[in-house]
Amino acid sequence: MKFRDRYKPGPGKHDPGKPDHGKPDYSRLDRAKSERPRVSRARFNLRGRLMLVTGALGLCSLALIVRAVDLQLIDNEFYRQQGNERFLRDIEIPTTRGMITDRNGEPLAVSSPVESVWANPQELSKNPARLPELAKALGVPADYLKRKVSQRAGKEFMWLKRRINPAVARGIMAHNIPGVFSQREFRRFYPQGEAVAHVLGFTNIDDYGQEGVELAFDDWLRGKPGSKRVIRDRRGRIVENVDLLRAAQPGKDLTLTIDRRIQYLAYRELKTALLKSGATSGSAVVLDVATGEVLAMANLPSFNPNAVTGDNRDAHRNRAVTDLIEPGSTMKPLTVAAALEAGVIKPQTLFNTNPGWIANGRYRTTDHHNYGVLDTTGVITKSSNVGAAKIAAMLPDQTFYDFLRKFGYGSSTGSGFPGEAAGLFPAPSSPGWSGTTKQTMSYGYGLSATPLQIAHAYATIGNGGRAIPPTFVKGQSNPSRQILDPVIAHQVLKMMQTVTEPGGTATQAAILGYHVAGKTGTARKASAGGYSRRYVAFFAGMVPVDNPRFSMTVVINDPDPSLGYFGGLVSAPVFHNVMEGALRLMDVPPDDIETWLAAQAEAEAKRAAANPKPIVAAMPPPVLTSGAAQ
């Protein structure tokens, strides 16, 4: 009751005061109106209202508490994240690309750190007085830098110098100019330069493999960059390392089967031969006969992988695996092997190649000379097209086709090199096969193959008929298949040995102290509407004949016909020089020591006749020669 009395409106309090008689008192009227409900409110259930207010306030605070609990205990992720975002940063840990080495561990491709200097133009333009100093450190004209900075004044990033020597970058950073930063990047270096360029390929500016082994084994070589969480202050400096999210995984190293020394030798000799013959391009492949490993693969024209430019793309191609050429006379040993396997000829079988040509449909298959009557060995020694045609004539189409197919013609060798070509090799029932096809194929026309395929087919003969797909990676063993009787393989090898002996087509390929089996080839290049007067000069062979170690194919494309274009003249010297070096480098014992001794005795006798002084003084130190003499 007390409570209510206190709020009871007293008459004195609500006295409107003196009325103004000049004007109608509207306010008084209003007040009289509003006074009525107040009276009734006072009479209303005040406790109920109070409860309502308290309840409403209570609900409000409850809502606040609930929200607070929700934010802080139940759904606390959001603001925690928001908070963290203001000082925590996940930064990338850069990692290196794996090294590529040759078979002896000599580096062929190495990633080395370089620094890239960049600037924040906004900050830079705040201190224009220091720009000349920076320009001097960078080695660029001051007004050039000034213009560049003012052009990009609204941006936050610009490169000043990319991929420079870390020491130079440190020199620039030492000036301590605000807004200049440096960042580590990795660059790929190829110490062997042009010689191995095609096999290795190259990477782009983001370190992704673009060609060659770099592309084929990109996943293996490329590291996985790591990630760590750090606390940064307002200026972006790292204050503390908080956590390692992902450890950086550096790229794995790759050991190739290439031998740096043989590779260089092959490249050098190929280059010499190209200069001497005026040819436009060339390839050389060296395979290890027993393992199928690619010991060397050189191509010309080449490029500098340390400074790859967009132009001259033609030189980037690894011709030894991508270019298709008609193998020419290098097919003849395979034709002979196919006939020997089928049992239709024997090594002693005689062929009458008179009169030096034979009809092939509307065309003629001709020899350089009329070789008369030749036995099977003679067909290979003299490289008689007519003889090869006569041998192929005894074979059914399918047998001949299957045999060559077995030796890898018409299918990729499986080396895994990017862009490897399979070759063109029509099947007997296909539209590419006509009545004249088998005969033209018997001496290497009407089908095409890569230099690697030829080297592989020869390596198979040298390996006793056991085919091993070529490989570029050391330690990778490909499954081998026996595809030819070892006896026949040996017979063919012996026939091919006569090619490099006196009377053969490639006496320039002979190596003193070793028996060399090989085959020359001179193919005319197909052009629109027939074969042109342009040539491809081949030599393919194996050494030493007793237990062959290397199979090498040399292809020289488009030699100047006026300087000589026969395979035995243009390509055989390359084979000789490279193989002589390779045999010495790999310590292959000579299999023909008698000839060597005879040659030596002859030379000694000649010298003794010319000069009676003891020859020992004129000798080079024996250390130099012992490797080859053992």
Partner 1 sequence: MNLRFLLALMIAANVATAIGVVYARHQHRQLFVELTKLERARDELNVDFGRLQLEQATWAESNRVEQVARARVGMKFPEADEIVVIRP
Is 597 a binder of partner 1 (CB under 8 A)? Answer: yes
Nearer to partner 1, 355 or 627 (CB): 627
Is 168 a binder of partner 1 (CB under 8 A)? Answer: no
* CB-count burial class (<10 Å; 0-12, 13-18, 19+) for 107: middle
Binding residue for partner 1, selected from 140, 242, 427, 585, defined by CB under 8 A: 242
Is 624 a binder of partner 1 (CB under 8 A)? Answer: yes
From the list 463, 474, 458, the residue with the least C-alpha distance to 551 is 458
Residue 281 forms beta bridges with which residues? 557
298 phi and psi, to 5 degrees? -115, 145
Is 301 a binder of partner 1 (CB under 8 A)? Answer: no
The catalytic residues are 329
From the list 518, 523, 553, the residue with the least C-alpha distance to 536 is 523
Q: Which residues 217-236 are close enough to bind partner 1 by CB under 8 A?
A: 228
Amino acid at 195: A
CB of 266 to partner 1, least distance (A): 11
Is 99 a binder of partner 1 (CB under 8 A)? Answer: yes
Is 156 a binder of partner 1 (CB under 8 A)? Answer: no
Q: Which stretch binds partner 1 (CB under 8 A): 327-335, 445-453, 545-553, 613-621?
A: 613-621
CB of 545 to partner 1, least distance (A): 19
SS3 240: strand
Is 143 a binder of partner 1 (CB under 8 A)? Answer: no
Amino acid at 129: A
From the list 410, 484, 482, 480, the residue with the least C-alpha distance to 441 is 410
How many CB atoms lie under 10 A from the CB of residue 421?
Answer: 17
DSSP state of 185: E
Is 260 a binder of partner 1 (CB under 8 A)? Answer: yes
Q: What tokens does 131 get?
A: 């720009």
CB of 98 to partner 1, least distance (A): 11
Q: Which stretch binds partner 1 (CB under 8 A): 117-125, 174-182, 292-300, 614-622?
A: 614-622
Q: What tokens does 475 get?
A: 């330690």
Give the residue carrying structure tokens 């090498």: 552
Is 245 a binder of partner 1 (CB under 8 A)? Answer: no
Q: Which stretch binds partner 1 (CB under 8 A): 43-51, 104-112, 365-373, 528-536?
A: 104-112
Binding residue for partner 1, selected from 241, 429, 434, 611, defined by CB under 8 A: 241
CB of 628 to partner 1, least distance (A): 6
Is 619 a binder of partner 1 (CB under 8 A)? Answer: yes
Spatial separation of the C-alpha atoms in residues 292 and 463, rounded to whole Å: 10
Nearer to partner 1, 40 or 630 (CB): 630
Binding residue for partner 1, selected from 100, 103, 111, 520, defined by CB under 8 A: 111
Q: What tokens does 228 get?
A: 């760590």
Is 255 a binder of partner 1 (CB under 8 A)? Answer: no
Binding residue for partner 1, selected from 61, 84, 204, 600, defined by CB under 8 A: 600
In Å, what is the CA distance from 273 to each residue of 49, 298, 345, 505, 561? 111, 13, 38, 18, 14
Q: What tokens does 419 get?
A: 């862009």
Nearer to partner 1, 153 or 512 (CB): 512
From the list 209, 219, 250, 261, the residue with the least C-alpha distance to 102 is 261
CB of 467 to partner 1, least distance (A): 32
From the list 106, 451, 474, the residue with the least C-alpha distance to 295 is 474
Q: Which stretch binds partner 1 (CB under 8 A): 100-108, 129-137, 321-329, 433-441?
A: 100-108
159 phi and psi, to 5 degrees? -75, 135
Site string for partner 1, 507-526 (x = CB under 8 A): -----xx-------------
Is 428 a binder of partner 1 (CB under 8 A)? Answer: no
Residue 102, H or E segment? none
From the list 164, 212, 199, the residue with the least C-alpha distance to 185 is 164
Is 240 a binder of partner 1 (CB under 8 A)? Answer: yes
What are the respective helix, strand and coil percentages of the chain, to the nearest 5? 40, 20, 35
Nearer to partner 1, 63 or 599 (CB): 599
Cβ distance 267 to 113 under 8 Å? no
CB of 563 to partner 1, least distance (A): 25
- List residues near partner 1 by CB under 8 A: 96, 99, 106-108, 110-113, 189, 191-193, 195, 228, 240-244, 250, 260-261, 264, 268, 512-513, 593, 596-597, 599-600, 603-604, 606-607, 618-620, 622, 624-626, 628-630
